[in-house]
Amino acid sequence: MTSTASANVGSVPARSAGLGLPVFALLAFLCTSQAFAQDCDRPGTPGEMTECATLRLRAADREMADTYGALLDSEDKGFVAALKAAQDAWMRWREAEGALAAKTANDPALVEYARFKQQALMTEDRIKDLRGMAEN
């Protein structure tokens, strides 16, 4: 399963009749995705490792967006401007670090895994930083 396959789940057309095969395919995909996600404690193949790192990054990105969004609601316009500039710079840094991690992967099958893992770790750390700002 690739990350593009999971991104296309919402594009399955709904039909009022004759849903047999599309519904079965969607259910099979969702069941496989759920079972696969539970195996992220011990992924066995480079593909599974990459998919788990992708899922971890997506979850961290969602959490970061929520935390960042809440901070943007501040009435302190100077803080909001500085936060936006810092977040933009941080996003560029995260992308560069992910690219660097990908270049240092010893196995070509692990290039994307290395990128997504690094970006997930950095995003999880950024969430802690943003939460700290919210507490002040």
Considering the domain boundaries, does residue 133 fall inside one?
A: yes
- Under 8 Å between Cβ of 25 and 52: no
Give residue 104's domain range: 45-136
- pLDDT of 39: 79
**What CATH number does residue 64 fall under?**
1.20.1270.180
Residue type, position 123, single letter = T
- Cα-to-chain-centroid distance, residue 83: 21
The count of domains in the chain is 1
Considering the domain boundaries, does residue 83 fall inside one?
A: yes
Considering the domain boundaries, does residue 27 fall inside one?
A: no
Across the chain, which has 136 residues, the per-10-residue mean pLDDT values are 40 43 51 55 92 97 97 96 98 98 95 97 98 92
- pLDDT of 25: 52
Considering the domain boundaries, does residue 17 fall inside one?
A: no
Place of tokens 């960042």: 68
Considering the domain boundaries, does residue 95 fall inside one?
A: yes
DSSP 27-62: HHHHHHHHHHHHGGGS--SHHHHHHHHHHHHHHHHH
Considering the domain boundaries, does residue 12 fall inside one?
A: no
DSSP 91-115: HHHHHHHHHHHHHT-SSGGGHHHHH
Distance (Å, rounded) from C-alpha 94 to C-alpha 122? 7
Considering the domain boundaries, does residue 108 fall inside one?
A: yes
- pLDDT of 11: 37
- pLDDT of 22: 54
